[in-house]
Amino acid sequence: MQAESSLRKVALVTGAAQRIGAAIACHLHAAGYDLALHYRHSQAAAQSLRDQLNVTRADSAHLLQGDLAQAETPERIVAETLTHFGRLDALVNNASTFFDAPLETTTAGQWDALFAINARAPFLLCQAAAPALRESGGAIVNLTDLHAARPRPDILVYAASKAALEALTRGMATTLGPQVRVNAVAPGAVLWPEGEGDRAERQAMLARTPLARTGTALEIAEAVRWLLMDAGFVTGQILRVDGGRDARWV
């Protein structure tokens, strides 16, 4: 089994226990990847996902727990992935933190919390994973946000942290090429953050979206899969999967 599994590609997905992260993990697993599944607090959901994937294909999913706000965690979970699987072919920086962060009330601690997870951790993960990804000719996909390019006043610092990740995406593409491709997916409205906005506000936003609907987690997962597996001449790009919302922003 070990010899067989060593031939399969391996992806490390952060924030993989729930929501979009779990959809990405399941979609990549179905496409043939073995998975290192990172989670922070959602242990029960992570264990359930691991068990589900291992029933489908034995020994194909492994859990990694860690707080990415701690500077030592990224290097540790990359090392654990390599110890367990012996290789790394893809890194998906999905883990994110979100809360309102307007100019008037955001504290230095809140700034640091947003940037630690949304920008610093992906950078440190890419830094730690780079040697293995160069060896395998792998790829990186970062999950950013439509608001990185169109910041709302109430989430100003969150948007800035995602804009930093988009800048890192482009910079790492030039740094790690030609061996490693680096791209990002910027979702629009897919899964609403808990407690964000009211129904009327959401309907007004959808009315300004050319496709007039929310996206699905599977559509984001497919964009990630395509960038990892099929987009061989694509690097340094931000793929906006937003139903055309960015094209018609008002």
pTM beyond 0.85, yes or no:
yes
Give dist(CA 114, CA 236) in Å, integer.
Answer: 23
Per-residue pLDDT of the chain (250 residues; tens, 9 = 90+): 445 556 899 999 999 999 999 999 999 999 999 999 999 999 999 999 999 999 999 999 999 999 999 999 999 999 999 999 999 999 999 999 999 999 999 999 999 999 999 999 999 999 999 999 999 999 999 999 999 998 999 999 999 999 999 999 999 999 999 999 999 999 988 776 555 556 777 777 777 778 878 889 999 999 999 999 999 999 999 999 988 777 765 4
Read off the CATH number of the domain in which 81 is found.
3.40.50.720
Indicate the helix (H) or strand (E) that contains 232: none
Task: Report if residue 20 sits inside a domain.
Answer: yes
Backbone angles phi, psi at 176, to 5 degrees: -95, -10
Q: Is the dihedral of CA 107, 113, 115, 116 positive or negative?
A: positive
Those residues with Cβ within 8 angstroms of residue 228's Cβ, 6 or more apart along the chain or in another chain: 11, 28, 90, 92, 139, 141
Q: State the CB neighbour count (10 A cutoff) for residue 41.
A: 10
Collapsing DSSP states into helix, strand and coil, what is residue 236?
Answer: coil
Question: What is the extent of the structural domain holding 141?
Answer: 2-245
Collapsing DSSP states into helix, strand and coil, what is residue 220?
Answer: helix
Domain count for the chain, please give it: 1
Task: Report if residue 155 sits inside a domain.
Answer: yes
Q: In 134-229, at which residue ranges do the beta strands (DSSP E only) sit?
A: 139-143, 181-187
Cis before residue 210, ω within 30 degrees of 0? no
Collapsing DSSP states into helix, strand and coil, what is residue 90?
Answer: strand
Active site residues: 158
Task: Report if residue 241 sits inside a domain.
Answer: yes
Task: Report if residue 250 sits inside a domain.
Answer: no
